[in-house]
Amino acid sequence: MFTGIIQSTGKLRNEANQSIIEVLENNFEMNIGDSIAVDGICLTVKEIFGNSFSVDISEETLNKTTLGNNYSSNKIVNLEPALRISDRLGGHIVSGHVDGLGEVNNIEKLDKSWLLTIKWQNINYSKYIVNKGSICVNGISLTIASHENDGEIFSIAIIPHTWNNTNLKFLSLGQVVNLEADALIKYVEKLLYSKENNNLNSKSKEISLGWLKDNGWNS
């Protein structure tokens, strides 16, 4: 589990059939087997050497995230080690399981921030977008400022600290980013859906006059 508060950036490259990530700044403690969010993707530390570590990336991850979509040598990625019980939950609950990709539609420089507009590639996830709700973009916990087309397109305001200390500053129009919707919304949806189905099943089992007649009872 993660919080979406980026602790460092790294440089990702392929070397001898494995993926190597060099931590560029703010080194953090890690051990073999630890989970690290790399651009919002939960990966496992395989080896550690100096300020670098290696990870295995599955075909599933390559097919459904930016690691396979717009991978380039020496790609700058956002890094966050897994949450400890004693840590502050500064952002929101992030699983590191990317829901889908989003395309950068617009980047606007404002007086004191940047406004980033993103479009879901898969509109099935747009239902999880709500005003002032949370969204994870390349592993960063961000707040939705506005949305349109029922959440298919949404905008997020980026403060200077986030812009300067993550890879968002390297984005360009048309580039894709990893998106993970707020887990709490998905849990609520699941509970409501289950409750609705249970209510329907309960009603279908209720004894009514029509049910009695259908089963041979004559008044």
Residue 3 lies in a domain: no
Rg (CA), the chain: 22
DSSP code at position 216: T
Tell me, yes or no, if the pTM score tops 0.95.
no
What is the pLDDT, as a whole number, of residue 172? 94
Q: Note the pLDDT tens digit of each residue in 102-129.
A: 999 999 999 999 999 999 999 889 999 9
Domain that residue 137 falls in: 100-186
Residue 203, pLDDT above cutoff 60: no
The mean pLDDT of the chain is: 87
Residue 47 lies in a domain: yes
Residues 105 and 173 in one domain: yes
Percent of all residues in the chain with a pLDDT value above 70, rounded to a whole number: 86
* Domain end marker among 31, 53, 81: 81
What band does 33 get if pLDDT is binned at 50, 70 and 90? very high
Q: Note the pLDDT tens digit of each residue in 53-67.
A: 999 989 999 899 998
Residue 141 lies in a domain: yes
Across residues 145-159, what is the average pLDDT?
Answer: 94
Residue 164 lies in a domain: yes
